[in-house]
Chains A and B, each alone.
Chain A
Amino acid sequence: MLCIRLPARHMAAILAAFTLTTATCQPLRAADAPMVRIENFAFTPPVLTVKPGTTVTFRNDDDIPHLVVANDSSFRSKALDTGDTYEFTFTKAGDFAYFCGLHPHMQGKITVAP
């Protein structure tokens, strides 16, 4: 299962992405979708390396809300309740450190490299 609760607009986005990737002969498979899981007050994996243009999904698997905030404020999720997801597309190369806005000892990093 990729996502448990997907708002309609996310479904639309995924359908759109699927259509696009199909057109460019790069089928997007669920197992390949870059995902950061939030569990036991930690981001897993703590460091994720992706190519520019990749959309990363953050999913909260804890029984407590978490909030994904970039150290440089370039992205910020709403509070994610259990099972909620947040997606952000990383277009520029570089290191993007982030933390939980509610539990700031929780930290992670997305490395964007060609």
Chain B
Amino acid sequence: MTHHHDDDNGHISRRHALECMIWAGTGVLWTISGGIPVSLNLLGEAQAAEAMATGFTFLQISDSHIGFDKAANPHAIDTLKEAMGKIQALPQKPAFMIHTGDITHLSKAAQFDNAAQIIGGAGFDVHYVPGEHDLIDDGNGKAYLDRYGKGTRGAGWYSFDQNGVHFVALVNVVNLKAGGLGNLGAEQLAWLADDLKAVSASTPIVVFAHIPLWAVYPEWGWGTDDAAQALGLLKRFGSVTVLNGHIHQIMQKVEGNVTFHTARSTAFPQPAPGTAASPGPMTVPAGQLRGLLGTSSVTVKQGGQDLAIIDSTLA
């Protein structure tokens, strides 16, 4: 985490309290300042390493799409295995993992089983939220809830606390309305309001859900209709980090006290907003695929409110 935005009193200003660092496969380090990605030189790598060594780290994977076998990646199961191999080889073991949905491609039992075997085989606790691809079994989501719904509410939302951070797992892929985007719904929002009541404003909050909770590109459905209501409930907190998947590429934005970040897929890339006729699996030359797939590790520095996000490719 860079500290070049400290204010005169030596405090990190609220606006810059949640900068993100991207450590891409090329070794380039990025930092986000006021929502604008700024490339830094590799000096920052040492600071990233220090954060990794002294903080508590968790790891995000997303959009593994087990069962996908089309041209964009005929071997989505293999790239998930590669991702898990890289996670197991990390020098600093993450405390746990989150999976931000689209575990499977078609919600088939065998796809859930394969994903559980590969992801579970690494031995980490994994906190899941469903993507829309995980709820298209004949039971409209029963297959997902049977596996991952224990201890959750409604369509699978829940919260938990770890190392002083309050984690909130939201579901925005059910009861989608014609012409709409992702949807949280009144019942979940009421639960969220209640859940946050007992949490102090100084507690760092991490919210994760499948579809982005900010309007990345509504023309392609990349946003959540009632996200503003959820974010309104999070206004009083000093540090809010929102982690999403769905769009299979890294996008980020800092808005006030909230840092938004989307993770890469482990299965296939999608085009950047507006650069193709539609979203969907993007076929790239074989040698480039692994540079567009990956995982994200998030480090929470003890005693600080900064969360450092480091994205790694499979290349």
Q: Name A residues whose Cβ lies closer than 8 Å to a Cβ of B.
A: 40-42, 62-65, 67, 69, 71, 78-79, 81-82, 97-99, 101-107
Contacts and interface: CB of A to CB of B under 8 A. Distances in A.
B41 to A, nearest CB: 39
B221 interface: yes
Nearest to B173: A102
15 contacts: A63-B70, A63-B72, A64-B280, A65-B136, A71-B178, A78-B138, A79-B107, A99-B178, A99-B179, A102-B176, A103-B132, A105-B179, A105-B218, A105-B221, A106-B221
Given A63-B281, A104-B221, 10 more contacts: A40-B280, A41-B279, A41-B280, A101-B176, A102-B132, A102-B136, A104-B180, A104-B181, A105-B179, A107-B179
Interface in B213-237: 218-221
Contacts of B136: 65, 67, 78-79, 102
A42 B105 CA distance: 20
Contacts of B220: 41, 105
A106 B221 CA distance: 9
B302 interface: no
A95 B242 CA distance: 40
Nearest to A105: B221
Interface residues of B, number: 25
Of listed A81, A99, A101, residue having the most chain B CB within 10 A: A101
Interface in B144-187: 176-181
Nearest to B133: A65
> For the complex, would chain B's binding face be called helix, strand, loop or mixed by DSSP majority?
loop
B198 interface: no
Nearest to A98: B178
Contacts of B221: 41, 103-106
Nearest to A71: B178
A98 B176 CA distance: 12
A105 B180 contact: yes
Contacts of B279: 41
Interface of B: 70-72, 105-107, 132-133, 136, 138, 176-181, 218-221, 277-281
Given A40-B277, A40-B278, A63-B281, A105 B106 contact: no
Contacts of A41: 220-221, 278-280
A103 B182 CA distance: 9
B278 A42 contact: yes
B177 A104 contact: yes
Contacts of B179: 99, 104-105, 107
Contact of A105 (B138, B219, B280, B281): B219
Contact of B181 (A40, A79, A105, A107): A105
Of listed B178, B179, B279, residue having the most chain A CB within 10 A: B178
A78 B180 CA distance: 20
A105 B278 CA distance: 12
Contacts of B281: 63-64
Contacts of A62: 278, 280
A45 B49 CA distance: 54
Contact of A79 (B106, B176, B277): B106
A65 B105 contact: yes
A104 B106 CA distance: 17
A79 to B, nearest CB: 4
A110 to B, nearest CB: 14
Nearest to A97: B178
A33 B219 CA distance: 31
Of listed B107, B136, B138, B181, residue having the most chain A CB within 10 A: B136
A105 B221 CA distance: 6
Contacts of B278: 40-42, 62
Nearest to A69: B178
Contacts of A65: 105-106, 133, 136
Contacts of A78: 136, 138
A44 to B, nearest CB: 12
